[in-house]
Amino acid sequence: MSATAERPATRGFVGLPIDRVDGHAKVTGAARYAADAPIAAPLHATIVQATIACGRIIAIDERATRAVEGVVDVLTYHNATRIPALPFDFTAPSSEELAPLQSDEIKYDGQHVAAVIAETFEAARAGAALLRVEYESRAPELSPGGARTVEQPEQWFGSDAQPRRGDPERAFEAAGVRIDQTYTTPIENHNPLEPSATVAEWRDGELIVHDSTQWVRGTRAVLAKSFGLDEEKVRVIAPYLGGGFGCKGFFWPHPLIAAMAAKLTNRPVKLVLTREQMFTSCGYRSETRQRLRLGATRDGRLQAILHDVLGTSSRVGTFVETAGGVTAMLFDVPNIAVTHSIARLDVPTPTAMRAPGEAPGSFALGCALDELASACGIDPLDVLRRNHAAVDPSSGLPFSSKHLLACYERGAEAFGWSTRPQAPRAMRDGGELVGWGVATATYPALRSPAQARVVLGADGSVDVASATHDLGTGMYTILAQIAADELGVDPRAIRVRIGDSSFPIAPVAGGSMSSASVGPAVQDAARRAYREAIAIATSAGGSPLHGLGEDEIEACDGGLRSKREPSRAIAYGEIVRLGGSGAIEALGSAAPGDEGERLSFHSFGAQFVEVRYDEELARLRVSRALGVFDCGRILNAKTARSQMIGGIVWGIGMALMEETVRDPRAGAVVTNNFADYHVPVNADIAAIDVLFVEEPDLAFNPLGVRGIGEIGITGVAAAIANAVYHATGVRLRDLPIVPEKLLAAQAAV
């Protein structure tokens, strides 16, 4: 059951595959990222990190560092600004309660213990290499299996972390078919192209920060609380981000250190994390161990699921990888028990990473369902169809809009699924085994309050501003399209300004909520500006539209015109001049109401994958992938397709390559570079296709749009693992699926 409202009217700009309006700035180098901030003669800071996982500092020798030409100062816990520890709060989203450089305590390998400040980057690096820190070390706890402290949080981000319904234990034991397997996923790191960076400057008691952040307002709140300032005394600027994927969503210690260094030296300070530091200093995806027990009838209808998830977190912060969340709501199962546990370890704090919870959870659940299909001797796609949920099983609420069955059908037809043989190892192409796999994609539709300002200038300009962000996702472009649709202006003629905490409020660029939150606010602001323009144009004596009613006027070609007599037209710039105010300025807002009490909001999709495996070379590759998605209205066909392709590529990396490895004795990351931490490159990616089942979800917001940033990765790893089984007859439940695991599994058969 779902509720689908009438398709909204459009002037034709929303939905078009318009090129990115910020594309020229990016390819020509005009786009300024955090480290490019136009600050004259900044000092440079380089962070020094702890080389033990647990203990304390007993001595710091700064002599050789201070002897380096160009070194200005060394910031340690001896001379750092005293700031409070901030427990996580969405109003001030600090990821770690451990404030930086406040004591001699060491809680994890890679913890910031000093910053060397110098006139040049080279001098700061050289000075940092010469700083000598002596430690008293204690044996760290690094393995979740041996953790002394394991917690089961009742809630996480406002949702039940231990959901349960029915009597799953009894239903599982009574089931005709039972699956009981454990699936593991490793630590993974975000690795955006742009490392985290901050330029901090104090001006007359005010703090101005250029930061690579997904949440300028959240960053502002933490900085203000840390330094005891009113928020109006802090400005955070981030017009462009070179990727983030969650690691820049909450607040990390390095902006505080940059601001401390600027305060200490009374000069602007630039601090850029190295690639190695990105593996310890701004979060990661927690490893997970997921035991899944499925009980079903012989025809593959689920009767019970028990999903137990063990993840990790640090001693100085909390993040729960809620991998069981997808299990509680995706399929029609009467009996479910999901548990989430976190092992407290001497490690850095994990954080949200693209589709947190859903990415590893959909891997385990998708694989278990494929195992169920195999045990029942039926097509895996039939198992997905037969357990389709018409209403949200976790709440009992109808979905606002759900077209998952259509995703299955369109995907199966486009992929050629009907020709797939049931038996493993039944498909070959030359010397390669071929396998096909399928899995379900899903991600919740989220929305937060947002505002936007639209200004029509006397020179004919149109300006849109909001404190939202563009991580490379296309926000500049879609906001221009939304405003263009309301005003009848070419999107390329609209200036969009974002990424500044002084602009109207917007939420974190996370949870795939930016389009659904900020888009309607821009729509509202543009409509308000449009109505004000009509009021002036119909009342001013010198206007060709004088005396007409609002319903007799339409927007077109950068202004207004009569519907009946198109020659009676006037440009927005002329309307502004007639009004005499210098500009028409409108503030728009949008926020969720009580619809969440009546409806459940989610996006859905189906992932189809083909793999090829050369047994002689132990070479495994994804040769074809297809994603079909139900995500509401699509605002830009080109950028949306790009987002989904990126998500599928990330899923390929998750399944076959990505793994962060720590030294099991000391806790140091040993894969802290792109030589050892493998991500997909062009040679790894073959044909990828994306289809949309586009139905606007007007029950969710006035634009009918749901976010698409994260759903693309969900289900991909499961579809690949299932395809590997279909090709080889070998089940691998431990990511990543690398050649040595395949060879070992084949040898064991």
> Is 73 in a helix, a strand, or coil?
strand
Cβ contacts of 142 within 8 Å, gap of 6 or more: 53, 345, 346, 347, 662, 664, 665, 667
CA 240 to chain centre: 16
Q: What is the DSSP letter of 378?
A: S
Spatial CA neighbour of 723 closest among 707, 740, 742? 742
Q: Check: CB of residue 350 under 8 Å from CB of residue 96.
A: no
* Contact assessment for residue 641 and residue 629, using Cβ atoms and an 8 Å cutoff: no
Q: Which two tokens stand for residue 198?
A: 């901050």
Phi, psi of 525 (to 5 degrees): -65, -40
Q: How many CA atoms does the CB half-sphere of 148 hold within 13 Å?
A: 4
Active site residues: 710
Q: Which amino acid is at 1?
A: M
List, in sequence order, every beta strand (DSSP E) within 127-176: 132-137, 150-151, 155-156, 159-160, 164-165
Does residue 133 sit in helix, strand or coil?
Answer: strand
**C-alpha pair distances (Å), 410 with each of 381, 406, 625:** 12, 6, 14
How far apart are the two ends of the chain, measured CA to CA in Å?
45
Task: Write a three-state SS string for 296-358.
Answer: ECCCCCEEEEEEEEEEEECCCCCCCCCCCHHHHHHECCCEEEEEEEEEECCCCCCCCCCCCCH
E-strand stretches of 369-518: 428-429, 432-444, 450-457, 462-465, 494-497
| Closest to 249 in 3D by CA, of 368, 394, 94 | 94
Query: 519, 705 in Cβ contact below 8 A?
Result: yes
Spatial CA neighbour of 50 closest among 316, 351, 352: 316
Write the CA distances from 367 to 85, 377, 429, 649, 721, integer angstroms.
42, 15, 25, 19, 7
